[in-house]
């Protein structure tokens, strides 16, 4: 990643388009990129993975010919990709575009990625695979929510922000505590995410909640019709085990359960729709805490989005 010096920090203009799943970010971003000559930088944690196209609602190859997209299909499903890696790779792209006199349009709903890019991350130890294996083993042998109860003991503030089933983040929080002796919540407070690396414009997309839910239902039906189950079968046939992290995400987790005979296809579809609506609600809760976001309601304020970008980029 190019170094962010006092001379460059906060001077590179960057447009960020965010919002809950199914609100219409991709369609809006494509239109804006074409109109203003922007290059799209993906900020969706699932679209980075090769072969996970349908379940991540990845822009089609045709759409990617209409505007340049970055950070899509950059990892295999069994490779790690973290918020820190996203920050580093996105920053490299943004610097490269700036040298060419171009601007980036960051698009996605992964709030932590966007926060990492705009505010930085507190310094934390890297993964300790031995410790992680031990914690995963305890999760299997000590009963439901054992790790969550352990986190409540050592870092109750962090536990309040996590669902007891969010094993990945619970393990990471415990890992940081055991390696540093300090709760992750305290370390995050000390950092306060106060470094703004770019001169950015954050645009948040909203729709009526009933409309978002309807769009989610339609999207899930489309994914099933496009062959989400076949996509999962193809990934399994390539040797990726069901235990990899991306297979625990929305859509893929339920399709695995269906293919393994644990639930029916109708039940899988029902659960995907329900959990996706819950996810959209969590995304909105996360984003609503960010006072830097300029919110625009679709479709009523569609024109205002373009006007905001024109003023910001002075074009």
pLDDT digit string, tens, across residues 103-115 = 999 999 999 999 9
| 16 three-state secondary structure | strand
pLDDT digit string, tens, across residues 283-308 = 999 999 999 999 999 999 999 999 99
pLDDT at 122: 64
- Phi, psi of 17, deg, nearest 5: -115, 115
Sheet holding 39-42, edge to edge: 69-70, 39-42, 104-108, 13-18, 199-206, 293-297
pLDDT digit string, tens, across residues 31-80 = 999 999 999 999 999 999 999 999 999 999 999 999 999 999 999 999 99
Rounded to whole angstroms, the Cα distance separating 109 from 165 reads 21
Which domains, from first to last, does the chain contain? 13-121+193-313 (3.40.50.300), 129-191 (1.10.20.140)
CA dist 6 to 1, 34, 84, 157, 196, Å? 15, 32, 21, 34, 11
Contact 207, 27 (CB under 8 A): no
pTM equals 0.81
* Dihedral, CA of residue 283, residue 284, residue 287 and residue 290, to nearest 10: -150
* Torsion sign (Cα): 209, 212, 218, 221: negative
Radius of gyration for the chain, computed over Cα atoms and rounded to the nearest angstrom:
20
Report the percentage of the chain scoring pLDDT > 90.
73
DSSP 8-state code for residue 49: B
Rounded to whole angstroms, the Cα distance separating 162 from 177 reads 15
Q: pLDDT: is 162 or 187 the higher one? A: 162
- Averaged over 192-220, what is the pLDDT? 89
């Amino acid at each position: 990643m190019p170094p962010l010096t006092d001379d460059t920090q906060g001077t590179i203009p960057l447009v960020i388009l965010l919002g809950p799943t199914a609100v219409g970010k991709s369609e809006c971003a494509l239109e804006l990129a074409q109109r203003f000559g922007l290059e799209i930088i993906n900020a969706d944690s699932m679209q980075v993975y090769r072969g996970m196209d349908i379940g991540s609602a990845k822009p089609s190859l045709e759409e990617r010919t209409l505007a340049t997209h970055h950070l899509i299909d950059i990892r295999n499903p069994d490779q790690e990709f973290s918020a820190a890696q996203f920050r580093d790779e996105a920053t490299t792209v943004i610097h490269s575009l700036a040298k060419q006199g171009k601007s980036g349009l960051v698009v996605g709903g992964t709030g932590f990625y966007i926060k990492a890019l705009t505010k930085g991350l507190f310094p934390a130890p890297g993964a300790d695979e031995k410790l992680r294996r031990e914690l995963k083993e305890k999760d299997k042998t000590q009963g439901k929510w054992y790790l969550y109860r352990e986190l409540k003991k050592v870092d109750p503030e962090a536990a309040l922000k996590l669902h007891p089933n969010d094993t990945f983040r619970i393990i990471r929080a415990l890992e940081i505590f055991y390696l540093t002796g300090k709760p992750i919540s305290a370390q995050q407070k000390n950092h306060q995410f106060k470094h703004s690396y770019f001169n950015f414009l954050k645009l948040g997309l909203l729709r009526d909640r009933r409309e978002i839910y309807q769009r989610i239902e339609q999207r899930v039906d489309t994914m099933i019709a496009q062959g989400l189950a076949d996509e999962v079968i193809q990934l399994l046939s390539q040797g990726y085990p069901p235990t990899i992290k991306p297979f625990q995400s929305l859509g893929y987790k339920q399709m695995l359960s269906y293919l393994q005979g644990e639930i029916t296809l109708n039940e899988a579809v029902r659960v995907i729709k329900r959990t996706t609506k819950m996810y959209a609600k969590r995304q909105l809760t996360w984003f609503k805490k960010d006072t830097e976001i300029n919110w625009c309601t679709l479709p009523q304020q569609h024109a205002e989005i373009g006007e905001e970008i024109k003023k910001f980029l002075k074009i």
